[in-house]
Structure 1
Amino acid sequence: MPPTTIFDIPTPSLILDRAKLVRNIQRMADAARSKNVALRPHLKTAKSIDVARLAMEGQAGGVAVSTLKEAEYFASHGIMDIQYAVCILPDQLERVASIQQQGADLTLITDSVAVTRAICERGKELGANFLVQAELDCGEGRSGVFPDSKELIEIARLAHEASHARFAGVMTHAGHSYQCRSIAEIEKVAEVERSTAVRAAERIRDHGIPCATVSIGSTPTALHARSLDGVTEVRPGVYMFGDMFQAQINSCGVDDLAVSVITEVCSHHASLDRLLINAGALALSKDRSTENMPNDVGFGLVTDARGQLLKHKMKVARVYQEHGQVPLVEGVSYEELPVGTRLRVYPNHVCMTAAMYNHYHLVDSDKGDGCEVIATWPRVNGW
């Protein structure tokens, strides 16, 4: 049988370019190595054991996840060092204990003294030993305690002294680095992220409590931090794939984007100079992260099926549940894009785009024309 290509698979489908993925992974690995920190890949976007194996190659062996479903999935595939990077809820602890029974060390994070106390008590009831990290707020304002707070020391003390818990360190995430518009701005945020985590760890140690792990996150800061002195690990995630937003904040280039959606023209609306594709909000997401950027691509950059830019820039300007609206631009005619024409869309926010798909169609742009589907890689979804 002839090989399957991107012209044979159903649309919309999620495409992953292995060649670009490998290069992106290597770039981050080199950045972490140059700063003498461990790399803990955050798999909240990839959600795939096949991607995880590539990202973990040559690394310390730990990963971060954003759902317990991901933790269960990766533990079932033999990954035993997992950080659940969302504040844990007490009613999730029985499920955590079950994952640990598979042999996994599942590190929990919290910014709550009350939850830390519940972790310690529930660990004793379940006969489980829970690893606890304190989450810090380094400026994003989403979650976390401040490094100079009394709550930080109390969280560390409770977990350290408990019979069925262990204090495992501190972590923070500079998600507000996404608001930066230059490398210089990212460097400043990265230094605040670093100093916040290091200062918190030093305070904890000054109270006689070990603080082995000093963990920070964010693809922009992991790549562009001038120094990570005092940090033990970084936890970036979107670096593996990249997206149009990351390309505009200097985390990657458009040519580095490893994930796209293959779609087809399904309708023409000649009176309004628009066409429709069969990839809408569910296939692309409704994220408009490039809206205020110099290169606004609407809900995604439109290219030809091979991923090559069209002769004039086109974008998905509006999404409905199952449709995307693409305005025609001057110099492009309907005759050039008849119904059934296959196109690719490079997303604004790849984490959201990938979330609706159960697998990747793997291609390799370093081999042939990059259109042959060389494998199908499953991904896990849900919570």
Structure 2
Amino acid sequence: MRARASSLGVSLRPHLKTTKSAPIAEIADAGGGATVSTLREAEYLAEHGHHDLVWAVCATPDKLDRAAALLDRGVSLILLTDDPQVASAIASHPSDLRALIEIDSGDHRTGVLPGSDAMLAIGTILGDRLAGVLTHAGQSYRCRSVVEVVEVAEIERAAVVVAADVLRSAGLPCPVVSVGSTPTASHAVSLEGVTEIRPGVYLLGDLFQVAIGSCALEDIAASVLATVIHRSLDRIVIDAGGLALSKDRSTAATDHDAGYGRICTLSGDPTDAIVHEVHQEHGLIRATPGLGLAVGDRVRVLPNHACMTAAAHDRYHVVDQGTTIEEIWERANGW
């Protein structure tokens, strides 16, 4: 991904919300800057020497003092807002807090429209505390082909470029023009006018990214270890259910429905079996003649959505090409 960012003329600011782990941040070379989704992530990464961070969830006034405490520790933490009152609280805060304006580039989750009066009002309030603009094309996760993702990537790019141009024309600073999702970062044709990308799930990969062409099955780096606890003529049950795997069903609307996860052998070789039903601690697999699993056997389950699945766990067991655990890496869960 770093090579792709370089080829497109932008910086890579990996979003560590997927992995929440300092060792993985090192692998991602996040020393040049990272993205976080919680203040807990920001504090954790700061403890491990990462001092250039963007918090890519809209801030609220009650969190500003906690954010400012990171600045006091020498961390460059840029906030995000789409609200005039929050912008005013940031602009008047005694610490040198800065913020990006979130732009709605089509996902309609949070953000203001590019070039809108609301955007200009927020920029004016922030003044020299304005760090730039940021968007996340979350609608890329509703795409069902690479062609659709390419189209969304251009919509995403155009939205923030328009926003930046309007702010600059109004005499306001806009040094950062930030876009980001793994699908759009993987397939964008041009990022002219953009300064950085913020993909996250590319660090682990998952079945949904495979389904929409952002990675290959062999690129998936994360799986859940589970044990067979029941076998009958028609079903196999493992001790990984909705809590361990998540109930994400993002692959259901694709041509590669993987249920709640795809079964692999203990050594990581994929099978055709999927977890078709989950309860809190139980995952059900349809028994087939070729699926030679017995009670006590262990399997690995590839996730539909690595961010959601990893969030249920407090560590990663890092294995070699076989089954030997080489290292254990912590995660910084919580908010």
TM range (shorter): over 0.9
Structure 1 residue 375 and structure 2 residue 327: aligned? Answer: yes
Structure 1 residue 109 and structure 2 residue 80: aligned? Answer: yes
Structure 1 residue 238 and structure 2 residue 201: aligned? Answer: yes
Quick one: distance in 1 between partners of 2:215 and 2:162? 30
Counterpart selection for 1:41 from 14, 17, 27: 14
Quick one: distance in 1 between partners of 2:276 and 2:254? 15
Counterpart selection for 1:337 from 289, 293, 299: 293
Q: Deviations over 1:291-310 (max 9, x none)?
A: 12111110000011111123
**Counterpart residue number, 1:204:** 167
Bigger relative CO (Cα 8 Å, ≥ 6 apart): 1
Note if contact 2:91-2:127 (Cα within 8 Å) is conserved in structure 1: no
Note if contact 1:171-1:197 (Cα within 8 Å) is conserved in structure 2: yes
Structure 1 residue 314 and structure 2 residue 277: aligned? Answer: no
Deviation at 1:233, TM superposition (A): 0.2
Quick one: distance in 1 between partners of 2:115 and 2:9? 26
Q: Deviations over 1:158-196 (max 9, x none)?
A: 1115xxxx1100000001011112221111111110010
Amino acid at match of 1:375: E
User: Which aligned segments of 4 or more residues in structure 1 are displaced greater than 6 angstroms?
Assistant: none
Quick one: distance in 2 between partners of 1:277 and 1:77? 36
- Is 177-186 or 106-115 further displaced after alignment? 177-186
Deviation at 1:38, TM superposition (A): 0.1
Quick one: distance in 2 between partners of 1:90 and 1:269? 56
Deviation at 1:148, TM superposition (A): 2.2
Unaligned 5+ runs, structure 1: 1-27
Q: Deviations over 1:304-353 (max 9, x none)?
A: 1111123xx11101111111011112x236xx211000111001011010
Quick one: distance in 2 between partners of 1:92 and 1:107? 13
Counterpart selection for 1:186 from 132, 149, 163: 149
Quick one: distance in 2 between partners of 1:97 and 1:208? 27
Quick one: distance in 1 between partners of 2:212 and 2:28? 22
Quick one: distance in 1 between partners of 2:33 and 2:167? 23
Note if contact 2:55-2:80 (Cα within 8 Å) is conserved in structure 1: yes
Amino acid at match of 2:277: R
Quick one: distance in 1 between partners of 2:147 and 2:286? 36
Amino acid at match of 2:23: D
Note if contact 1:76-1:102 (Cα within 8 Å) is conserved in structure 2: no
Paired residue secondary structure (1:115):
helix
Note if contact 2:54-2:77 (Cα within 8 Å) is conserved in structure 1: yes
Quick one: distance in 2 between partners of 1:350 and 1:142? 21
Deviation at 1:364, TM superposition (A): 2.8
Alignment of 1:117-266 (within 5 A): 117-121=88-92, 123=93, 127-160=94-127, 166-266=129-229
Counterpart selection for 2:243 from 272, 282, 296: 282
Amino acid at match of 2:56: A
Note if contact 1:88-1:108 (Cα within 8 Å) is conserved in structure 2: yes
Structure of higher CA gyration radius: 1
Structure 1 residue 323 and structure 2 residue 279: aligned? Answer: no
Paired residue secondary structure (1:32):
helix
Note if contact 1:120-1:158 (Cα within 8 Å) is conserved in structure 2: yes
Quick one: distance in 1 between partners of 2:313 and 2:131? 34
Paired residue secondary structure (1:317):
strand
Quick one: distance in 2 between partners of 1:88 and 1:236? 20
Quick one: distance in 2 between partners of 1:140 and 1:309? 33
**TM-score using structure 1 length:** 0.86
Paired residue secondary structure (1:360):
strand
Structure 1 residue 361 and structure 2 residue 324: aligned? Answer: no
Quick one: distance in 1 between partners of 2:51 and 2:221? 27
Provide the aligned length of Structure 1 versus Structure 2.
Answer: 335
Quick one: distance in 2 between partners of 1:147 and 1:266? 53
**Counterpart residue number, 2:253:** 292
